[in-house]
Structure 1
């Protein structure tokens, strides 16, 4: 299978590519049995989900310790873990409370991301017990104000948030500014012209 990441913008080893392709195959198998993504995107797993997740390593190539919340179908957490599998000192923690989705994440760990840590708990219970990471990621989980409530324990203590958002991100930012101060960098998505990745740092409640 001939696969590239972001038209070759991300160069990875053959072993890493094999892990990502194995994950794609596993995902397709499991998504026939449990609801992991919207039906409308099931035919576009590589671009819409795997490459969309992988682009975070273009934004932050120094990424080593990250926590992915609401990991669900493994985007971006398992994808990033597979890409960091051979990197010394890398650590990826996934937080997911849904038992069926956790079972899928465990299968993905066994096949393509062996060093990942999976926390089968509610986000509110899991995050405070995890050492503050370099980055916190979330994709298709909640509106920005809710993400801030969930991740404040880390984003107020040095961690940086990387949150995938769609066309409504400006409204979410405006709503968030009512109660929060934060540093913001907006990265345009390489996958969807209407989507962005919001980089959030120094989060403080007003």
Structure 2
């Protein structure tokens, strides 16, 4: 079993994925490789492990909260996890939308190209996160972010929106305990942690309730 086959097996252990979605992942991979020399979309050392390090790793986000249909992906970059979430939602045949927040224009052009070629329902917001969320009024069930910012910073972005019907689902690494301790100085935080399936030192964090301590 090669690296891609192991990644596909891992993906299907988290969430059954159709052949159509796997085909879209393959086309997505091809576009990343095509754009990588000019855009440096992912760390070069991870390019040959894209199925495990990026696709399977991103699948964990949707698998952690599969009932969400309207997502906001913060700092989308190359689209991990936002475009992966959109591919998984697209196969359900239900109404959905993934909002991708990415201020870098060249990366935004890549995100739009992938979405167009794969027929995904995304909405690109080419501005800073604070500006995009300041007057947000559209439906949102979940936020996602991967390798973007500390937990304290993520809390500052999403706190007006986290409630019983909206959560944050974030990738966090080995420094998460320190991040949680630092964020807890300013925030009342209710979250659930799940062990990452791709990195024993990482975890998936589901932020369920959040409020500032000085409120």
Given the two structures, how large is their TM-score scaled by the length of structure 1? Answer: 0.93
Contact 2:142 2:168 in 1 (8 A): yes
After superposition, the C-alpha distances for 1:147-194 in whole angstroms (9 at most, x for unaligned) are 111112212574200110110000000000000002110010000111
Residues in 2 aligned to 1:182 and 1:113: alpha-carbon distance in whole angstroms:
37
Correspondence 1:93 to 2:99? yes
Indicate the SS of the match to 2:192: strand
Change (3 A) 1:120 1:147: same
Q: Of 8, 14, 26, which residue of structure 2 is paired with 1:4?
A: 8
Q: How many residues align?
A: 206
> Structure 1 residues 155 and 30 mapped into 2: Cα distance closer, same or farther (>3 Å)?
same
Gaps of 5+ in 2: none
From 145, 166, 176, give the equivalent of 2:173.
166
List alignment gaps of at least 5 residues for structure 1: none
Give matches, 1:9-48, under 5 Å: 9=13, 10-48=15-53
Does residue 200 of structure 1 match 2:207?
Answer: yes
1:139 to 130, 135, 146: 146
Take 1:113 and 1:140, find their aligned partners in 2: how far apart are those partners?
26
Query: 1:113 & 1:181 partners in 2: Cα distance?
Result: 40
2-side partners of 1:70 and 1:56: how far apart? 15
Identify the residue that residue 86 of structure 2 maps to in structure 1: 81
Task: Give RMSD over aligned pairs.
Answer: 1.7
1:126 aligns with 2:132: yes
Distance apart, 1:202 and its partner CA: 1.4
Return closer, same or farther for 1:121/1:5 CA change in 2, 3 Å cut-off: farther
Q: 1:101 to 1:7 in 2, by over 3 A?
A: closer
State the distance in 1 between where 2:163 and 2:66 align. Answer: 22
Distance 1:132 1:173, change over 3 A: farther
Contact 2:11 2:17 in 1 (8 A): no
Indicate if the aligned counterparts of 1:66 and 1:92 stay in contact, CA closer than 8 A: yes
